[in-house]
Amino acid sequence: MANRGKSLDSEIFSIADLQAKASEKLPRVFKEFFNEGAMDLITVKDNEDAFNRYKIRPRVLRDVSNLDTSTTICNTKVSFPFGFAPAATHKIAHPDGEIGTSKVAAEANICMALSSHATCSLEDVIAEGSGNPYMIQFIILKDRNITRQLLERAESETHRFVSLIIAGAKSSYVTESGYKAVMLTVDAPMLGRRLNEYRNSFGIPKGMGYPNLAPGSDMSNLTETGEGLAYGELRMFEIFLQTPNDIFLEDGIEWAEAIAWIRSVTKLEIWVKGIYTAEDVALAIQHGVNGVVISNHGGRQLDGVPATLDALRECAPVAKGKIAIAIDGGIRRGTDIFKALALGADYCFAGRIPIWGLAYNGTKGVELAVKLLQEEFKLAMCLAGCKTIKDINKSHLSILETNGVLSKL
């Protein structure tokens, strides 16, 4: 007798299916922009392959009735340990853009980190929130006023949103809505060399821009001639190659200055994204950062670095009990989330998955993606013998050594 349950979609049964269908719908220039990464794509592929190197060790005859997949991030309860990583230009995938992504994050009660290169304003994105936590991602620019304005907008929007909720006498839980943290990307003092952008002369469509970057500032020097072209009309790689050094990526800043400057601008939690090593986790702890994200930018920066899951194995013991630790990169299954948590992650992010959802079917496609992952994760917990998130630990994993021996972690 079949006992497969009801399908969520007639064509999509996994994130791999979603990626394939989304890729069919996207023009080559945008498909490769979203799906590929730096140089030879070694790290892009390894991020996914790493999850297959670790095997789940189920425990049986455990009470797994009333499974609880919930956890917390930014002191806010969420439905399960998965959220949307900051990824640029959602509107390229579908007109719903980041607003559609935000609607799903709110409905599913998960965390969303908004890219500073989003194609919808941070105000419009947070307006869809319903108690779930949001973060605003940024890179410190040489023109600090651009970065300052972005962070101040996020924090003021949080205060405005919370005060309205209090005035409306909603529950104390809902008052947690708003931008709860800023997320500093630290692995991009220069952009990685993404060959697809050169081959395809990548550029975002006319009329599409980055409303969270310096509204009201003079951006004319981000054009090929200094005038006549809108910021969003330039090919992405030309922006970084031609932009004067005094306005773009800050490549001379170090830990102490960076964190102190952020604290002078905002009172929101500070998370650092783009950590690869235990040494940098220790520095994040030393400087009082609230959380770190083990990330290699989805393989879009330095090709040949370790898969994020392998880096997590090195970093998690240093973070344990001292700082929140999350991971992104390569997550495609609910079992991937389980494995990351077993290796010490508190939370998992993904950037491409909501984009594939948008490309497939707009907001409904993103909703489908989250439901697939949530069902798979719940199933993994049940079959592994874990009733709550706290039950998941490294005793539930083993690794297949090169000599063919299955070794318990």
- Alpha-carbon distance 150 to 161, whole Å? 17
The low-confidence residues of the chain, meaning pLDDT below 70, are 1-3, 159-177, 214-247
Report whether 199 belongs to an annotated binding site: no
In a domain, 55, yes or no: yes
Report whether 59 belongs to an annotated binding site: no
Report whether 329 belongs to an annotated binding site: yes
Report whether 177 belongs to an annotated binding site: no
Report whether 332 belongs to an annotated binding site: yes
Helix (H) or strand (E) holding 60: none
Report whether 50 belongs to an annotated binding site: no
In a domain, 92, yes or no: yes
In a domain, 393, yes or no: yes
159 catalytic? Reply is: no
Amino acid at 234: L
Q: Which of the residues 94, 117, 297, 396 is marked catalytic? A: 297
| Secondary structure of residue 285 in the 3-state scheme | helix
- Alpha-carbon distance 315 to 309, whole Å? 10
Q: Do residues 21 and 360 lie in contact, with contact meaning Cβ atoms separated by under 8 Å?
A: yes
In a domain, 1, yes or no: no
Report whether 357 belongs to an annotated binding site: no
In a domain, 6, yes or no: no
Q: Which residues of 151-168 are buried (b: 16+ CB within 10 A; e: fewer)?
A: bebbbebbeebeeebeee
Report whether 215 belongs to an annotated binding site: no
In a domain, 10, yes or no: no
User: What CATH number is attached to the domain comprising 208?
Assistant: 3.20.20.70
Q: What is the pLDDT of residue 163?
A: 56
In a domain, 253, yes or no: yes
Number of separate domains in the chain: 1
Q: Which residues of 262-283 are buried (b: 16+ CB within 10 A; e: fewer)?
A: beebbebbbbbbbbbebebbeb
State the residue for tokens 């010490």: 344
Q: Do residues 390 and 128 lie in contact, with contact meaning Cβ atoms separated by under 8 Å?
A: no
Residue 352 lies in domain: 15-408
pTM of the predicted model as reported, rounded to 2 decimal places: 0.90
DSSP strand pairing (406-408 vs 324-328): unpaired
Interaxial angle between packed helices 352-384 and 15-25, expressed in degrees from 0 to 180 and rounded to the nearest 10: 170
Q: What is the pLDDT of residue 23?
A: 98
In a domain, 352, yes or no: yes
Report whether 351 belongs to an annotated binding site: yes
Q: What is the pLDDT of residue 203?
A: 87
